[in-house]
Amino acid sequence: MSANTPGHSRGLKKTHKATIAGVAALSAAALGFSLIPGNASAEVEPQALANTQQVAWSYDANSPQAKAMAASLNEQTSAFALKAKQEAAAKAKAAAEAQKKAAAAAKAAAAKKQAEAAAKKRAAEKAAASRAAARTPVFANNLDGWIREALHIMKKHNIPGTYEGIHRNIMRESSGNPRAINNWDINAINGVPSKGLLQVIYPTFKAYHVPGTKFDQYDPVANIVAACNYAADRYGSMDNVNSAY
């Protein structure tokens, strides 16, 4: 084998030659890169930035592309503004409707409350009237009934008197005739005749009339109550009267 070594290179195949050539080329390239100074990339980079700046400053606002871009931006801005305006209007409308509904609800609630209060008041008044009617006795339309009704009213106004005292004086003064009138005594001469069951003159009846009774000298109940009110003021009670008074 050693005798044939010098001539062994002639026997290399083509593929082997190609491989060796490629390795040589790569070695040459590596050698070339190693010879380039370390700041070579710094020298190239500013050139690239300068070119970029030059392209930016050469922008033409009147070019079709620039005009198209500006129109697109304006259109988008207008669309956004319109949408914002529509949304604001919708919110304002919703707020106004909500406020209107709230006001209507408050008004309805107030009306309902007022109606309930009125109904409650009517019910209370009706109940009170019913209770009063139940408490108010019914009196006969005769002398006995008139005296008893007069005593019922006198009790409310703290006017003293008894059935016996009232009845006794009525029988002496008018014999129980509510239309009786004295046209011959001094009162009649003075133009103020005595009238009614207990023969009361008008000035006395007017001064001692009790509210809640008729303002009529001939009304039997009003006449009895006014006369008893006068007798209580002057004599302490109608029971203490035994003659003309």
Q: Which of 101, 75, 238 is nearest to 171 (CA)?
A: 238
List phi, psi (to 5°) of 216.
Answer: -150, 120
pLDDT tens-digit series, residues 7-42: 444 444 444 444 444 444 444 444 343 444 444 444
pLDDT tens-digit series, residues 167-187: 999 999 999 999 999 999 999
Which of the four pLDDT bands, split at 50, 70 and 90, describes residue 43? very low
Structural domain spans, the chain: 71-136, 143-240
Residue 66 structure tokens: 């620039």
Report the C-alpha gap between 161 and 228 in whole angstroms. Answer: 7
Residue 127 near residue 205 (C-beta atoms within 8 A): no
Report the C-alpha gap between 61 and 55 in whole angstroms. Answer: 13
**Residue 35 CB coordination number (10 Å):** 7
Query: What are the strands, taking DSSP E only, across the chain?
Result: none
